[in-house]
Amino acid sequence: MPELPEVEVVRRGLAPRTVGRTITALEVLDARSLRRQDGGEDRLRALLVGRSMTAAARRGKFLWWRLAEADGAESGEALLAHLGMSGQLRLVTPGGPDPQRHRRVSLTLDDGARVDFIDQRLFGGLWSSDLVEAADRRLAALGSPDALLPVDAAHIARDLLDPALDLAEVARTLRGRRRAVKSLLLDQGIVSGIGNIYADEALWAARVRYDTPGSALSQRTALALLRAARAVMERALDVGGTSFDALYVNAQGEPGYFARSLAAYGREGEPCRRCGRFIERAISQGRSSHYCPRCQRSTGVTRKDAE
């Protein structure tokens, strides 16, 4: 399921073939993928056709293109995409493979290539969003030329690959909450880009149990956990992300290879790669958590929690 590494792989695949190109047509095969578009298909078409893409940026799991008029002036809007859990953005070149299954929206570019939005489960979408300045006025995201970002992504915190992220501050935020640490890692308003897979992997790497209250973490452990999350996502990025099946592929239609390196996610009943104990699975907040019952421990409760 596309989390930060997978979305970044897609961004890197799309950027060189889309930035600098002009959109010549919009084809909508399933309007449900435009659910979040004000004014629907007609308005999106009016905003896109004849505009060029000037940058491909990403914050957390949100990906967007900056748009400019024919004369090069910025339009003040971005084309925003979220892959949900089964979305793909695929580059289709004339004569190349042409995926039809679950194709929902296509953009045609002035070199004849197409960008297809494919989405089996329809949790993702494509829509336009006005640009606003990031609250901290720093570079908005990876791939962004300035501090502007789509208003519909402005509530999303910076992610662990963002040079402007203040790691110590995020660690302090985790420690200021009493919710389970996994729920905090998944909260895109605290730190973005982490989903169920990389949350379980980061917790395993840092030896922290999913249900440890944030307030029970030391600053040192909270920092170690965030660094573990960053490290596992960087390793996944290096091998093209995590693919379990055909649901996640890059812009060229190729899978990633990180599934074979997972230590916790999806490994219920298999031996822990550190200590050999069987990985267990627990349901919490409607999601499964995979963890090693021996080497992932609750760091215990703080005095405050014991009261």
Which residues would be at the binding site for DNA (CB under 7 A)?
Answer: 1, 3, 32, 35, 60-62, 82, 84-86, 102, 120-123, 152, 155, 177-180, 183, 186, 188, 195-197, 285-288
- Indicate which residue of 45, 138, 227, 287 is catalytic: 287
Answer whether 118's CB lies under 8 Å from 109's CB. Answer: no
> Any bridge partners for residue 27, and if so which?
106
Active site residue 61: yes
Q: Closest distance between DNA and the C-beta of residue 306, in Å?
A: 18
**Coil/strand/helix, residue 47:** helix
Give the pair of three-digit tokens for residue 84.
């949900």
Nearer to DNA, 21 or 36 (CB): 36
- Indicate which residue of 3, 6, 8, 77 is catalytic: 3
Q: Closest distance between DNA and the C-beta of residue 52, in Å?
A: 26
Nearer to DNA, 1 or 141 (CB): 1
In whole angstroms, give the CA distance from residue 47 to residue 67.
9
In whole angstroms, give the CA distance from residue 262 to residue 242.
9
Nearer to DNA, 177 or 274 (CB): 177
Q: Closest distance between DNA and the C-beta of residue 196, in Å?
A: 4
Lookup result for tokens 């309007």? 31
**Coil/strand/helix, residue 258:** helix
Active site residue 2: yes
In whole angstroms, give the CA distance from residue 299 to residue 215.
10
The answer for residues whose C-beta is within 8 angstroms of residue 235's C-beta and 6 or more apart is 258, 261
Nearer to DNA, 60 or 241 (CB): 60
- Please name which of 205, 199, 254, 270 lies closest in space to residue 3, comparing C-alpha atoms: 199
Q: Closest distance between DNA and the C-beta of residue 115, in Å?
A: 20
Lookup result for tokens 């493979």? 97
Active site residue 287: yes
Q: How many CA atoms lie within 13 A of 47 on its CB side?
A: 23
In whole angstroms, give the CA distance from residue 4 to residue 192.
8
- Indicate which residue of 2, 5, 150, 213 is catalytic: 2
Q: Closest distance between DNA and the C-beta of residue 225, in Å?
A: 17
Nearer to DNA, 35 or 235 (CB): 35
The answer for residues whose C-beta is within 8 angstroms of residue 12's C-beta and 6 or more apart is none
Helix 196-205 to helix 219-238 angle, to the nearest 10 degrees? Answer: 120
Answer whether 56's CB lies under 8 Å from 15's CB. Answer: yes
Nearer to DNA, 50 or 253 (CB): 253
- Indicate which residue of 51, 58, 61, 90 is catalytic: 61
Q: Closest distance between DNA and the C-beta of residue 6, in Å?
A: 10
Residues assigned a catalytic role: 2-3, 61, 287
